[in-house]
Structure 1
Amino acid sequence: MKLHTIDTGFFKLDGGAMFGVVPKALWQKTNPADDKNLCTWAMRCMLIEEGDRLILVDTGIGNKQDEKFFSHYYLHGDASLDSSLAAKGFHRDDITDVFLTHLHFDHVGGAVERINGNLAPAFKNATYWSNSQHWDWAVNPNEREKASFLKDNILPIQESGQLKFIDAVDGVAFTDDVKIRFAYGHTDAMMLPQISYKGKQVLYMADLLPSVGHIPLPYVMAYDMFPMKTLDERKLYWNEAAEKEYILYLEHDPMNECCTLQHTEKGIRVKDVFMLKDL
C-alpha cells in the first residue's frame, strides 16, 4: 500500500464560522484572518494505492460552478486535482474508487464535471462511495445546510449508475487495510477512513478536525449541524487517537498535513506535525 497527498488548492471561509463560539483573539493565533475576517484553508485529498485499486478520498471544490459562486471562496494556489494526480504519475481515468467522506461542496465538487453544458462523473472508470443515510440527508437538505449540498455535485453521480453505498456501521471494512469510522455532529453520517499503514493507524479527519487550530475541544465549527454531538465525538476520538498514537490526516489545515495528539495539563493538544510522505 502507498498513500499520497493530493492537493487541490486553497479557499477562504469566515474565521468566525470556522471557530464557532471561540473568540477571534484566541483562534487568530493559529489561523490569522485577512481584512475581511476570512481565513485560508486547504482542500487536501488523499490517494490510496492498495492492490489493483486506486482510491481517491474526496475531490475538492471542482471548477464547474459559475463565477458568482467562486467569488465567495477566493480560490487560490497552484495545485489542482489533475496536476496533483499527474505529479504522482496518475490520471483521473486511473481512479477505481472515489470515496466521499460527505457531500458538502468543498469535498465533492470535483466528483462531477461539466462538458459541453452537460454534467457527468469526472472519474469515468470509478465507483463512487457514500452511505444511504448521508445521501438521503444531502438530497433532502435542511434549510440551514442546504447551501452546502449542491444538486449539480450529487445527482449526476447517482444518475450515472456509478454510485454504491457503504453500511453505516462504525468500523465496517472497505478494503483489507481500510475500515470506515463515522461521525454525526458535523453532518449526518460523515465517513472517516481509518487506514492501517506501515504499522500505524492513519485516520482521515475530514471535517471532524479541520486543522491543528481546532484541537481544543470547544473549537467546534458553526457549520456543524449538531455541535454537542461533535463535542462528544471529539472527546472519544481525541482520547482514542492520543492513547493509540493515531496519525491524523488533516483535510483543511493550510500548513499541516498530519498530526498526533497527546494528553497535557490543559487537555489533549497537538504532539507532532509532519508530512504524510515522512511516515
Structure 2
Amino acid sequence: MRSRHWAGARVDVHEQRSAGRVSYHLCYEKETRLSALIEEVGTSRAEPRLSANKPCPVEYRPRHMTLVPAGMDLWGHSDDIRYMKDATVAFDLDTLDERFEGLFDRRMLQQPRLRMADDRIATILQLLSNVVDNGDPSVQLYGDGLVASLVACLMSPHRPAARPRGGLAPWQVRRVTEHIRARLPDRVDLAELAMIAGLSPAHFSRAFKLSTGLAPYQWQLDMRVRKAQQLLDGGRQTLDEVADACGFADTSHFARTFRRFSGCTPSQWRRRRP
C-alpha cells in the first residue's frame, strides 16, 4: 500500500493480485472514506458490499465509487478477479471543518453511497492516485487543491461545480505572487496562500486560476522554472545544482518540468544562450 497525506485527507493506493473468487474486508471502520477501483482484470466485476454475504444492491456503473461513513463496514467481492488497483480517500472531518469554515457539511458524508457515479470525482481520485509517490514539493500544493475540489464536488453531488463569478482583486494577486516569489524555492501551502488573500482555500484556488490562467501549484512551478532559466543564463552551475537550487526533487523531474514550461530541455536552453 502507498499513502500520502494532504490537508484534510489521506490517500491510500492498493494493488492486489489474486486467482478466482475474492472476498475481503476493507478495514476503515473508524474513518469516513471514499473508494474507487482504478483498474481491474478478470472475468467478473468487483463490487462493494455492506455485508460480506449480500450482493451489492446497486447495479454496476462505469467509474463507480463508494462513499462509506465512519462506523460502517465495507467488503470487496468478485467471483473472478486477477488484478485490481484501488484508491481510498480517508477524510479528517475536523480538519475539513476548520479548513472550509461554514462551507463543509458533515451530513453530506453521513449516508453511504454505493457505486455512485460522478466523472468529476472519479477524475480527481485518479489524479490523486497518480501523484501519491511524487516527491516534488509542488505536489503537496497540487494535492491540496485536488482535495478542495473533491470536497466541493461531494458537497454538491447532483450539480456541476459552479464557475466562480470573479477572480482575485489586483492587490490579492500581487500579495500572493510576491509571497510565493519571496519563499522560492520552498513550497507554499494552499491554505497559507488563501489566508493571505482572506479567502477559503476552495474559493481562492478557483479565483486564482480565473485571474492568472494557472492553478496556484502551476504558478509556483512556472516561477521555479523562470528562476532556473536565470541560473542557466548567468552561471556555471551544473544541472544538478540548478535543480536543487530551484526545489526540484531530482534532475529528471527538473528536465521534464523545464521542457513543459520552456519548450526545450535545460541543456538546450543553456546552449541557446549567447
TM range (shorter): under 0.3
What's the TM-score, normalizing by structure 1? 0.24
Q: Which has the larger radius of gyration?
A: 2
Greater share of helix:
2
Greater share of strand:
1
